[in-house]
Each structure stands twice: as structure tokens, then as C-alpha cells.
Structure 1
Amino acid sequence: MANSPHFLSASTLTGDKVTNPKGESLGDLKDIMIDTETGSIAYGVLSFGGVLGLGEKLFAVPWEALRVDGDRKELILNVDKERLKDAPGFDKDNWPNFADTTFVNRVRKYYIQ
């Protein structure tokens, strides 16, 4: 099993590469969304596609769907690259309401099975 540090700063993870278990690149971690009521990380915001930020698609991935690989300094998301292309996403100028239960349920159903 890969080395998974128990504590890391958010800035350490932001910008890290995200891959799947096959080693395919799924983008990078753009941001981390914290549930301010519980103090826990709710989502990792994954950036996929586009060139120099143009045309990129953002995805809210439930934090429990991601695994930190400390040895390779990347995050692992167990989803096929083709499936990610069809995932519910958003653009950088139109973020979803992360408190909306319809959004939460749709995203959780997509990534957590």
C-alpha cells in the first residue's frame, strides 16, 4: 500500500495530479471544499481537460472517493477516464451550490458505489 500521510496542509494537495489505479491522468486537484459545520473535507474539486485553463471542466468529487498516494505525491480516484468525461461537472465561472441535496446526491451516486 502506498504511503498515505495522516495530516497534510490543503496547499500541499492543491495542484497535485489525480490519476486512476490504471495510471491514467484525470487532471489535478484545483481546490478543497470544507464543510464548515463539521470541519471535515467534503469535496475535492478536480480540474480536467482544457488548455491553460480554457475549456477545462471542474468536478466536485466526494473526498472519500479520493486516496492520497504520499510516495507519488498524487491523488488516486477509482474511475475510468472515459466515465469521468460524462461526470456531472461545472465551469470555473458557474460553481454549484454544494449545500443543494439534489447536487450532493447526484455527485455521491456517481462516485461512491
Structure 2
Amino acid sequence: MNYEDRDTYGMYKGHNGIAADDHSSAGPGPRLMGADTLIGNDVYNAEDEDLGDIKEIMLDTQSGQVAYAVLSFGGFLGMGEKLFAVPWSLLRLDTVNKRFVLDVDKDRLSSAPGFDKDDWPDMQDPTWGRDIHAYYETKPIQDSRF
């Protein structure tokens, strides 16, 4: 399900397939999006392989920035799936296909530090945050505890 399907307020009407730099139509999208409409969006990589979907968006309440997207990958019908915290900076919204693109190989993602839906890590632990960013070779968001 994509963000247009979860658009309960109709705020993205008229944004079908527009470029992210097109500001000609009314509404907030696609550069400013409601978090609730993005949860559940599919995530693909550059090779057009399905990597899963967004389960949660984690906000750093001190900086006001999005820290991570929690991506569900693997399993079948919710069984055996693994969750991954992916730095938000790695995700790109594909407005044409109405999904996210994460430029990470499927094998690399399956080897990433992940967690079970019933056993979430302490995401505010600075060591955990450094490990995630080191794995994906990204920098933590500024003004953050991570």
C-alpha cells in the first residue's frame, strides 16, 4: 500500500507522478509528507528488488529530525521477518512508483544488524547508533544523542 492509498485527508491529490521539485500543485507532498501515510510503504533497491516495507518512523524528539525508518524484511505473512533500523538519509521517495528506494543490496541488508519485533534495541544507546551508522557508512543526524 502506498502513501496515496493511506491519504485519509486527501492532501496528496494531484501529486500523481510529479517530480519532487515541482511546486505547482496544492498540498504538502511530496517533499513534506505525513509520517502516518509513509508507514507501510514498500521499499525497493536500485535493482528493483523488493526489500520489504516501512513499519515505523523513529523521530529524534530533541533535534526534531527523523533518525531511522524501521524496515521489515524477510519472512512470510509476518512470520520470521526481521526488523532493521535504516538511517533515514539512505531512503529516497520514488514518487513515480510511490515507494521508497534504498540503495542497498539484498544480501547486505540481510547481514545488517537487525532485531525481532518483540525485542527492540535501545535505540537511544549511543553505541547502538554508532554501530548502525558504521554498518551503513552514514553519519548520525546533527544535534542528536546517537
* TM-score clears 0.5: yes
- Residues 1:18 and 2:34 aligned together: no
Residues 24-103 of structure 1 mapped to structure 2, 5 A cutoff: 24-103=49-128
- Find the aligned partners of 1:6 and 1:90 in 2 and give their Cα distance: 30
**What SS does the aligned partner of 2:54 have?**
strand
Where do 5+ consecutive residues of structure 1 fail to align? none
Percent identical pairs in the alignment equals 53
Could you list the structure 1 runs, at least 4 aligned residues long, displaced by more than 4 angstroms after superposition.
Answer: none
Structure holding more helix per residue: 1
Q: Find the aligned partners of 1:3 and 1:11 in 2 and give their Cα distance.
A: 21
Q: Which residue of 1 aligns with 2:19?
A: 3
Q: How many residue pairs are counted as aligned between the two chains?
A: 112
CA contact (8 A) 1:3 1:69 kept: no
> Where does the alignment leave 5 or more consecutive residues of structure 2 unmatched?
1-17, 21-29, 139-146
Larger radius of gyration: 2
Q: Deviations over 1:68-110 (max 9, x none)?
A: 1111111111100011110000000000111111111111111
Distance 2:38 2:19 in 1: 15
Structure (1/2) with the larger strand percentage: 1
Cα contact 1:17–1:75 (8 A) shared by 2: yes
The alignment's C-alpha RMSD in Å is 1.3
> Which of structures 1 and 2 has the larger relative contact order (alpha carbons within 8 angstroms, sep 6+)?
1
Instruction: Give the TM-score normalised by structure 1.
Output: 0.94
